[in-house]
Homo-oligomer: A and B are copies of this chain.
Amino acid sequence: MSDVDNPRLGAGGLAALFAIGASGGLIGDMCHVEAGTTVYLEEPLPNVWRSQLWFPLMVGSGTAALGWIRVRFGATEGDRAGGESLGDAAAMIASVLALYALTAIVRGEPQPVAIVLVYSVAALICSGFTRGPAELGCGALAALFGVTAEIVLAGAGIFEYADDVSQLAGVAAWLPGLYLAYGVVAARLGMMLARADLRQNRTR
C-alpha cells in the first residue's frame, strides 16, 4: 500500500481541525444566542464571545476527532479523483456556517417548514461534499454523539432551546441535520489536512 492510500494526520493537522471547529462553533453559537434559539442557564465558566468556554472546546475537539476517524478509514475510491482545493475547503466551511445561521433565522417560522428547509439544505451539503460512505459515517457519528451530548446538557439544565423551537428530547428537531452536514465536512477537512501533511513529509 502506498503512502497515498495511507494518509496520516499529524499534530499540525489536528490543531488546524481544532481551530477551525472551535472558531466555527463560536460563530454558529453566537447566531443561536443572538436569535434566542438557545440560552445558557448555567455560566460557571468564562464566556468566549457569546459562548460558555466548554462549547468551542467541545466543537473543536469533535472536529479533530471526526477528521482523525475519517483518516483512519483510509483513502477510498472517492479520494482517487484528487484532493479538494483551498477554495473547496472554504466552500465546505461556509456552507456549514450558512446552515448554522439558517437554523437561527428560522426560529420564528412555522417549525415544520423550518425542519424541511434545514434537512433539505443539510442533504445538499452532504451530497455536495461527500466522497463516499466514510464521510457519511462520520456525519452519522457527529449526529449521534453531538445530539446525545446536547440532550444530556439540556437535560442537566446547562442550557435550553427556546420554547417556540420544535424539540425532540429537549433539543431542536433540526439538530441532527446540522450535525450531519458538519460531520461530513469535518471528515473531508481531515482528509485534506492528512494529504497536506503527507506532501510536507515527502518534500523533506
Chain A positions near chain B (C-beta within 8 angstroms): 27-28, 30-31, 34-35, 87-88, 90-91, 93-95, 97-98, 100-102, 104-106, 109-110, 112-114, 116-117, 119-121, 123-124, 126-128, 130
- From known contacts A35-B110, A106-B105, infer whether A98 and B127 are also in contact, taking CB-CB under 8 Å: no
On chain B, the residues within 8 Å of A100 by CB distance are 116
Rounded to whole angstroms, the CA-CA distance of A116 and B113 in the bound complex is: 20
For A130, give the chain B residue with the smallest CB separation: B87
Q: Determine if B101 and A123 form an interchain contact, defined as CB atoms under 8 angstroms apart.
A: no
Rounded to whole angstroms, the CA-CA distance of A120 and B181 in the bound complex is: 15
Q: Determine if B104 and A120 form an interchain contact, defined as CB atoms under 8 angstroms apart.
A: no
Q: Determine if B113 and A101 form an interchain contact, defined as CB atoms under 8 angstroms apart.
A: yes
Q: Determine if B97 and A127 form an interchain contact, defined as CB atoms under 8 angstroms apart.
A: no
Query: Binding site of A, secondary structure by majority: helix, strand, loop or mixed?
Result: helix
On chain B, the residues within 8 Å of A98 by CB distance are 116-117, 120-121, 124
For A116, give the chain B residue with the smallest CB separation: B101
Q: Determine if B124 and A31 form an interchain contact, defined as CB atoms under 8 angstroms apart.
A: no
On chain B, the residues within 8 Å of A120 by CB distance are 94-95, 97-98, 101
On chain B, the residues within 8 Å of A117 by CB distance are 98, 101-102, 105
Say how far A202's CB is from chain B's closest CB, in angstroms.
Answer: 23
- From known contacts A88-B127, A90-B123, A127-B88, infer whether A116 and B35 are also in contact, taking CB-CB under 8 Å: no
Q: Determine if A90 and B121 form an interchain contact, defined as CB atoms under 8 angstroms apart.
A: no
Rounded to whole angstroms, the CA-CA distance of A92 and B126 in the bound complex is: 12
- Interchain CB contact (< 8 A) of A124 among B28, B94, B119, B126: B94
Of A27, A105, A128, which is in contact with the most chain B CB atoms at under 10 Å from its CB?
Answer: A105
Known: A98-B121, A105-B113. 20 other contacts (CB 8 A): A31-B110, A31-B113, A87-B126, A87-B130, A88-B127, A90-B123, A90-B126, A91-B123, A91-B127, A94-B120, A95-B120, A95-B124, A97-B116, A98-B120, A101-B116, A101-B117, A102-B117, A105-B106, A105-B109, A105-B117
